[in-house]
Amino acid sequence: MTRLEQALKGSALPAGDAGAEVATGRLLARAEAEGLLDVAFTTIESPFGELLAAATPRGLVRLAYDMTPKETIIEELAATVSPRVLEAPGRLEPLKRQLDEYFDGRRRAFELKLDWRLTRGFTQRILRETAKLGFGQVSTYGEMAKAAGSPRAVRAAGNALGSNPIPIVVPCHRIVRSGGQLGGYAGLLDSDIKRRLLELEGALGPSGQAKLF
């Protein structure tokens, strides 16, 4: 439970048989009415396990695989964005719906506002360029470094993509090595998730390497 939840539960929520659903609804309503909800988060089921999603009034700020404990991510959001963090699934419903459609093969582009505040400088330039890649379109680390204005910074481009705070929606899985080898993903040396996402988008050739155009 976040500090915001503890404070509001102590002052605003009905006791007794009001029920958890009613209590949660009143908690959220009061938080929003008083401007106390800066970061809304929820968990979303995916083919790759549970995802933790967080959004601010600016847009989606974090989407994380379950490799990192939920509590750690929430603490990081409280420290870097705002301590006013609260579980609010309704705020993330558009993301959930669009992710479900994407995983089912019924969506080729996300229609979501993004909050880039967890990135800056070269990393943000790389990720903004990555966000321009369309469904099934594959690029290389070198090409992304060039697009971000630093053509020699190939390794730095890889590090920037490995620290992407909004994977899938900002499609760092579409960036591969110059020969078509998949390379790392989400900070790992290799990941089956990257391969499966590229398979979903029809971006892998018979050899298992990415199709570079």
**DSSP-assigned states of every residue in 70-120:** HHHHHHHHHHHT-S-EEE-GGGGHHHHHHHHHHHTT--SS----B--TT--
Q: How far apart are CA 193 and CA 80, in angstroms?
A: 27
| Contact assessment for residue 87 and residue 43, using Cβ atoms and an 8 Å cutoff | no
Other CB atoms within 10 Å distance of the CB of residue 117? 14
Q: How far apart are CA 112 and CA 91, in angstroms?
A: 12
Structure tokens at 21: 């659903």
Q: Which regions of 141-195 does DSSP assign to beta strands (E)?
A: 175-176
What are the residue numbers of the active site?
Answer: 172
Give kind and range of the element (H or E) at residue 140.
strand 139-140
